[in-house]
């Protein structure tokens, strides 16, 4: 079977009882939402979109929403002791992802379909209204303390959601070319990858796009395994990582230690011009992983012809990989939080719809170099 027919089959194997239109937003629980939002504007080129807090009738927390093309990020901080859920999340995990919100046509049906198949409810279908219309929300629990919230917004024309007002700022640093969320990765505990594969398959109708075992993903010292789950239209991809036995402590174990359990490891965002995006982010203070120079000696033997100059990619530590349909360019930031937990990936797809196996070794060796500096290898 050719690779493209195989991919079509994988996408059609996914069940359509939970049609997902895309990622609606990602919400982070953080210690200081005002400063976090400022960082994502300054360093990653997001724009001010919406605000919720005392001025909008919200008494227990403040949220800032930023946007870049199709990507919306929400940063939320508790402002009183009433909301122990947010406090507890920050105390346990540090700043990190709480909500991966998915855009649906019918949030009530999404909740019924998933909970009837075994998902644990986080939020029963709830209608929120203001003068701009109504949003229906529902939610289910996923790995660690993370949740999916289903957002139905077809009857809403406001800036974000009820409870929010437009956030107009005089500080508007330019965008860096980030377009949409390509995938979001979970780190789960020992032996739990298949549990979450089953969860996404059975309760959400996702199919397994590709599997990497510990032989695919290992260095001299550390190893991990990964399964990429996708929904039927391919817009939502969730790789799930678990640690595997190696000589030293893997980056997944380091994450699980510092995050106190499973959680979102990285958010991959797409660009049409990775070199330009990365140059701008570097100028604004974002730090990227350094890739061993020898990676570039052999990469073209592995991936074949590409449009970009290899020296440019080498200069910026951009990785190249290939599936049978094309290639992709990717690069990884250092953690964006103080704990070595959450990072971002920038990805440019040039035909490739899936993921290659070729970059893991180079990537993990460079993560191991960072772990060694932290004393956590």
CB atoms under 10 Å from CB of 190, counted, come to 12
The stretch near Fe ion (CB under 5 A) out of 58-66, 152-160, 195-203, 343-351 is 343-351
**Complex with Fe ion: residue 20 or 268, whichever CB lies closer:** 268
Structure token digits, residue 120: 């644990």
CB of 209 to Fe ion, least distance (A): 12
Residue reference for tokens 């996408």: 11
Cα–Cα distances in angstroms (integers) from residue 197 to residues 63, 143, 207, in the given order: 32, 11, 9
Number of residues that bind Fe ion (CB under 5 A): 2
Q: Looking only at residues 250 through 309 of this chain, which bind Fe ion when binding is defined by CB under 5 A?
A: 268
**Complex with Fe ion: residue 114 or 359, whichever CB lies closer:** 359
Q: Please give the order of strands across the beta sheet that includes 71-78.
A: 121-130, 133-141, 147-152, 96-104, 22-29, 71-78, 61-68, 47-52, 165-166
**Complex with Fe ion: residue 113 or 254, whichever CB lies closer:** 254
CB of 13 to Fe ion, least distance (A): 22
Q: Looking only at residues 344 through 373 of this chain, which bind Fe ion when binding is defined by CB under 5 A?
A: 345
Q: Rounded to an integer, what distance in angstroms lies between the CA atom of residue 288 and that of residue 88?
A: 30
Residue reference for tokens 């540090």: 94
Residue reference for tokens 């510990």: 214
**Complex with Fe ion: residue 345 or 365, whichever CB lies closer:** 345
CB atoms under 10 Å from CB of 34, counted, come to 13
The stretch near Fe ion (CB under 5 A) out of 81-89, 208-216, 251-259, 337-345 is 337-345
**Complex with Fe ion: residue 222 or 226, whichever CB lies closer:** 226
Residue from 100, 28, 104, 102 nearest 66 by CA: 28
The stretch near Fe ion (CB under 5 A) out of 29-37, 137-145, 170-178, 341-349 is 341-349
CB of 216 to Fe ion, least distance (A): 14
**Complex with Fe ion: residue 95 or 345, whichever CB lies closer:** 345
CB of 184 to Fe ion, least distance (A): 9
Binding residues (CB under 5 A) for Fe ion: these are 268, 345
């Amino acid at each position: 079977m050719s690779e493209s027919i195989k991919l079509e089959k994988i996408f059609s194997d996914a069940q359509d009882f939970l049609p997902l239109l895309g990622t609606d937003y990602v919400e982070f629980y953080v210690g200081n939402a005002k400063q976090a939002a400022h960082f994502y504007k300054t360093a990653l080129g997001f724009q001010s979109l919406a605000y919720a807090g005392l001025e909008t009738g919200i008494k227990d927390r403040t949220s800032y929403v930023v946007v870049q093309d199709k990507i919306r990020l929400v940063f939320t901080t508790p402002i009183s002791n009433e909301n122990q859920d947010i406090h507890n999340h920050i105390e346990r995990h540090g700043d990190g992802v709480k909500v991966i919100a998915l855009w649906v046509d019918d949030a009530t049906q999404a909740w019924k379909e998933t909970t009837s198949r075994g998902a644990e409810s986080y939020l029963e279908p709830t209608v929120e209204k203001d003068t701009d219309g109504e949003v229906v929300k529902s939610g289910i629990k996923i790995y660690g303390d993370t949740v999916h919230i289903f957002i139905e917004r077809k009857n809403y024309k406001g800036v974000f959601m009820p409870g929010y007002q437009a956030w107009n700022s005089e500080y508007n640093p330019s965008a860096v070319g980030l377009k949409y969320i390509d995938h979001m990765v979970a780190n789960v505990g020992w032996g739990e990858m298949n549990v979450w594969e089953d969860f996404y398959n059975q309760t959400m109708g996702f199919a397994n796009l590709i599997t990497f075992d510990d032989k695919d993903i290992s260095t001299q010292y550390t190893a991990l395994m990964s399964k990429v789950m996708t929904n039927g239209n391919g817009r939502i991809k969730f790789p799930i990582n678990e640690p595997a036995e190696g000589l030293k402590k893997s980056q997944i174990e380091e994450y699980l230690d510092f995050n106190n359990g499973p959680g979102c490891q990285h958010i991959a965002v797409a660009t049409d011009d990775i070199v330009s995006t990365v140059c701008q982010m570097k100028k604004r203070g974002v730090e990227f992983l350094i890739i061993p120079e020898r990676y570039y000696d052999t990469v073209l033997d592995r991936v074949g012809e590409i449009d970009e100059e290899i020296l440019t990619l080498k200069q910026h530590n951009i990785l190249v990989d290939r599936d049978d349909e094309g290639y992709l360019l990717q690069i990884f930031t250092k953690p964006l939080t103080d704990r070595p937990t959450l990072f971002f990936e920038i990805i440019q797809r040039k035909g490739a719809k899936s993921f290659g196996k070729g970059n893991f070794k180079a990537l993990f060796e460079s993560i191991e170099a960072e772990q060694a500096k932290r004393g956590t290898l």
